Amino acid sequence: MTVKPGFVPFFFPLLQKGFVLKTEVGCSLRELLAERFGISMEYIENRIQTVFLDGKPVDDMDAAAVRDGAVLALSSAMPGLLGAIMRKGGYYSRLRSPVSHLENGDAPRQTDGQVVVKLFNLTSPELGPLFLERGIRVDAEDLRDLFRSRPHDLEEGCVEAAVDGRQVDPAMLPSWDFTALQVYLEIRTV
Amino acid sequence: MDKLLRINMSVEGGPNASVDQMGEYAGLAGRALTSAVVAREVPPLAHPLSEDNKLVIAPGMLSGSLAAMSGRMSVGCKSPLTGGIKEANSGGQASQVLARLGYAAIILEGKPRDSDLYRIFINKDGVNIIPDNSLKGLGNYDLVEKMKREYGDKIACISIGQAGEMKMSAASVAFTDMELRPTRHAGRGGVGAVMGAKGVKVIVLDDTGMTARAPKDPEKFKAANRAFVEGLRRHPVTGEGLPAFGTNVLANVINEAGGYPTHNFMWGRFLGVSKISGETEAETEVARGGVATHGCHRGCTIQCSGIYMDKDGHYLSKQPEYETVWAHGANCGIDDLDAIAMLDRLDDDFGLDTIEMGATIGVAMEAGLARFGDAEAAIRLIREVGKGTPLGRILGNGAAVTGKVFGVERVPVVKGQALPAYDPRAIQGMGVTYATSTMGADHTAGYAVTANVLKVGGYVDPLKAEGQIELSRNLQIATAAIDATGMCLFIAFAVLDQPQTFQALLDLLNSFYGLELTGDDVTALGKKILTMERDFNKRAGFTRQQDRLPEFFRKELLPPHNSVFQVSDEDLDRVFNW
């Protein structure tokens, strides 16, 4: 889809639910973010305050290994004691010890695979456009629900759309019958 | 702010107001003052709805000044919900207005000799207590509209809805916000029932003709306030995350951690979380012409609140905050934000604690009164409470009573008060605070994350096994102290990460009062408050057995991490050893 620049946030709800990326796995979490995803070290260190790997808060991003099928969630600084508890390597991380991520398996082999990425709060507007431009796989039903939630905004904000290489009228997207369970979505801006 | 306004509702011939000097309470404010009055003046074995109980409404130390974030109000009494001491606090305009009128607290005492309902009007000229039975049965919204027609729109109201009049244990005390809507509540512990027992429907405050409280050292105060605000704006939580998404920004994160209680604490993850998250809520508000960044009182720079419109773009409620969205949402299996906002509106109107009511509906759903996920049924149940039907009377008395009446074993309460939105099996440290807080299960009791700055109780190595007990203790001490200042607890994030912002807070207090407080003094204040509260509870009959979580948290595995609460009873008993 090609959209007006101001329309990109329309797609952010998909990012908090999670999208699939094909990538090389079997590396550390830091390597995945920095080298595979191209996120700057400064952003990883300072902006991403909380990271979950398979639902477990991570404290050591160099030790945490990303395996095929992993679920990764990124968040900026969170409020409250709970925000402080979930923070990577934070003073209060002790208060969540039973659910913290601990790397105790064998080092995984580097291979092609896929990961699910969830972007929460400020990481969504800050990293979302990057992933949307490169292309993400999302649940077809979620995409259809999104299109149906604001059809008039979609017509206004979407300049061009193509499905499987064929140009389609953006107005038709809310009723489009995606045959697969997942849709590969690429967003470009004019 | 150097006098106490005592209003005795028992006096022959009608209620009587008198102004009292601070005396032994000099220097106290907020939670420190409410707990000191209750601990000293209320017989611990008194029935909470009796004439012997007192309702203390106290602004914070810096309320009424130009200090940012200083508009919290504390409400204290013996709680009808827990049977122990209670301090519930709230935002809204009233704290600033009451402080500018010069009162350190309003203390409602006694009980009317008749069944009349009263309104109280306070301005610079004095206090007027008027019997007004036309207010009977009004919800908070209609009540405030009526006061506005009578007194104009430069007022602040402190009121109860139908739940308070019916003396329900989940009843809140409402405070009006900047738009003069009754959206801010001292929710926890049934403080609204105590106000109802005093026969007071509404207290109207008008500070026309009064000015902001003046600091002893205006120049230092101004500089400290500037540094304090800069610190808040610089911090990513208080300067970006909270203003953008509100407190409900936590939903996705806690859910991902597997600690987001779902279906009456059955699971730690809710499938519909993305439909009710802070991100979705903020986007919905903006798309409908509402506001996603808004303060609850003048002088708020964090602005974690908002205004929620219905599908047609009409005002429905203030932005439901994290605890409310969780309680009426995931805990009841409801993933419809509009339904949750409607439940929030009804709670505010009837004057009910949203956490207690969400937990209660969850227990009712487990009992089979409604299906999990049935939003219409949840709305119907809350309406029963507002109407005061027999079922509504049961529900309005909270989760513990509802669980007992309907034979539910899994009732998430401590000291009779419902647990908030963090499952203690996933986040064990929060469980320690829930279990041992003087207030019953309370997430804010250990909310202020200032302990490593204050070094209260000594620095704790977070890697030590016993760290959870010490951390919970330190957090409870720090929270009690911040509650006394009247500052919003959300300042704590900036104070945690930025020592200069903590210093700016101390400078604000010192320049205002001409003091030389240090971090140690703040710690001492926190300990003093907790000691008073623990002593009251002990005299009210509490033992270590009340400092426990419900049994099912130790027995039932919480998916997805399949953990149970593991902190031993012996460790829980060490929390207040200092």
Q: Identify whether residues B168 and B308 lie together within a single domain.
A: no
Q: Identify whether residues B408 and B259 lie together within a single domain.
A: yes
Judge: B443–A86 Cβ closer than 8 Å, yes or no.
no
Alpha-carbon distance A173 to A161, whole Å? 9
pLDDT of B130 reads: 97
pLDDT of B454 reads: 39
Q: Note whether B416 and B48 are within 8 A (CB).
A: no
Instruction: Label residue B568 exposed, middle or buried (CB < 10 Å: 0-12, 13-18, 19+).
Output: exposed
DSSP string computed for B306-367 = EEEE-TTS-EEEE---HHHHHHHTGGGT---HHHHHHHHHHHHHHTB-HHHHHHHHHHHHHT
Beta-strand pair A27-28/A65-66: antiparallel
pLDDT (tens digit per residue) in B294-346: 888 888 888 888 999 999 999 999 999 999 999 999 999 999 999 999 999 99
| Cross-chain CB nearest to A76 (options B241, B247, B304) | B241
Q: What is the DSSP letter of A187?
A: -
pLDDT (tens digit per residue) in B30-45: 999 999 999 999 999 9
Would B124 be classed as within a structural domain?
yes
Q: Identify whether residues B376 and B250 lie together within a single domain.
A: yes
Q: Which residue of B has its CA nearest to A74?
A: B253
Show the DSSP H helices in chain A as ranges: 12-17, 29-31, 41-42, 80-86, 123-134, 140-149, 151-157
Q: How far apart are the first and last CA of chain A?
A: 10
Q: Identify whether residues B439 and B457 lie together within a single domain.
A: yes
Judge: B427–A85 Cβ closer than 8 Å, yes or no.
yes
Q: Identify whether residues B500 and B367 lie together within a single domain.
A: no
Q: Give the model's confidence band at B466: pLDDT under 50 very low, under 70 low, under 90 confident, else very high.
A: low
* B73, amino acid identity: M
Judge: A83–B237 Cβ closer than 8 Å, yes or no.
yes
| Cross-chain CB nearest to A91 (options B241, B244, B462) | B462
Beta strand residue intervals within B167-309, DSSP E: 173-175, 184-186, 200-206, 291-294, 305-309
Question: Element (H or E) spanning B395, and its range?
Answer: helix B390-395
Q: Identify whether residues B146 and B117 lie together within a single domain.
A: yes
pLDDT (tens digit per residue) in B270-298: 999 999 999 999 999 998 999 888 888 88
Q: What three-state secondary structure class fits A168?
A: strand
Q: What three-state secondary structure class fits B183?
A: coil
pLDDT (tens digit per residue) in B129-184: 999 999 999 999 999 999 999 999 999 999 999 999 999 999 999 999 999 999 99
Quote the percentage of chain B above a pLDDT of 90.
Answer: 78
Alpha-carbon distance B329 to B572, whole Å? 31
**B504 phi/psi in degrees, rounded to 5:** -60, -35
Q: Identify whether residues B263 and B126 lie together within a single domain.
A: no
> Which chain B residues have a beta carbon less than 8 Å from that of A86?
253-254, 257
Instruction: Out of A45-49, A85-89, A132-136, give the one with best mean pLDDT.
Output: A132-136
**A174 is written with which tokens?**
């809310």
**B294 is written with which tokens?**
């808004």
Among B235, B252, B498, B575, which would you mutate to test the A interface (most chain A Cβ atoms within 10 Å of its Cβ)?
Answer: B252
DSSP string computed for B67-90 = -TT---EEEEEE-TTTSSEEEEEE
Q: How far is C-alpha A189 from the chain's CA centre?
A: 19
| Nearest-5° Cα angle at B575, B169 to B523 | 90
Across the range B546-567, mean pLDDT stands at 95
pLDDT of B193 reads: 98
Beta strand residue intervals within B110-232, DSSP E: 118-123, 126-131, 155-159, 173-175, 184-186, 200-206
Q: Note whether B317 and B308 are within 8 A (CB).
A: yes
Q: Report cis status (omega within 30 of 0) of the bond before B560.
A: yes
Q: Identify whether residues B409 and B507 lie together within a single domain.
A: no
Judge: A121–B430 Cβ closer than 8 Å, yes or no.
no
Domain boundary among B155, B189, B206: B206
Would B231 be classed as within a structural domain?
no
Structural domain boundaries enclosing B351: 241-418
Q: Identify whether residues B396 and B448 lie together within a single domain.
A: no
Domain boundary among B387, B418, B449: B418
Instruction: Label residue B145 exposed, middle or buried (CB < 10 Å: 0-12, 13-18, 19+).
Output: middle
Q: How much is the pTM?
A: 0.93
Q: Identify whether residues B94 and B118 lie together within a single domain.
A: yes
Instruction: Label residue B351 exposed, middle or buried (CB < 10 Å: 0-12, 13-18, 19+).
Output: buried
> Which chain A residues have a beta carbon less than 8 Å from that of B283?
9, 12-13
Would B450 be classed as within a structural domain?
yes
Q: How far is CA B479 from CA B189, B248, B416, B443, in A?
A: 18, 21, 21, 11
Would B223 be classed as within a structural domain?
no
Would B116 be classed as within a structural domain?
yes
Order the strands of the B118-123 sheet from edge to edge.
B126-131, B118-123, B200-206, B155-159, B173-175, B184-186
pLDDT of B447 reads: 54
Would B234 be classed as within a structural domain?
no
Domain boundary among B399, B418, B437: B418
> Which chain B residues have a beta carbon less than 8 Å from that of A121?
241, 244-245, 249, 252-253, 278-279
Would B387 be classed as within a structural domain?
yes
How many structural domains does chain B have?
A: 3
Q: Work out the angle between the directed axes of helices B499-513 and B218-234 (0-180°, nearest 10).
A: 150
pLDDT of B461 reads: 40
Q: Note whether B178 and B296 are within 8 A (CB).
A: yes
Q: Identify whether residues B414 and B463 lie together within a single domain.
A: no
Alpha-carbon distance B334 to B328, whole Å? 7
Q: Note whether A123 and A47 are within 8 A (CB).
A: yes
B481 versus B193: which is more confidently predicted?
B193
Q: Identify whether residues B377 and B448 lie together within a single domain.
A: no
Show the DSSP H helices in B421-575 as ranges: 428-436, 451-454, 467-485, 491-497, 499-513, 519-539, 552-555, 569-572
Q: What three-state secondary structure class fits B548?
A: coil
Question: Element (H or E) spanning B148, and its range?
Answer: helix B140-151
B449 versus B242: which is more confidently predicted?
B242
pLDDT of B146 reads: 98
CATH number for B61:
3.60.9.10
| Cross-chain CB nearest to A94 (options B245, B462, B561) | B462
Would B481 be classed as within a structural domain?
yes
Q: How far apart are the first and last CA of chain B?
A: 33
* B227, amino acid identity: A
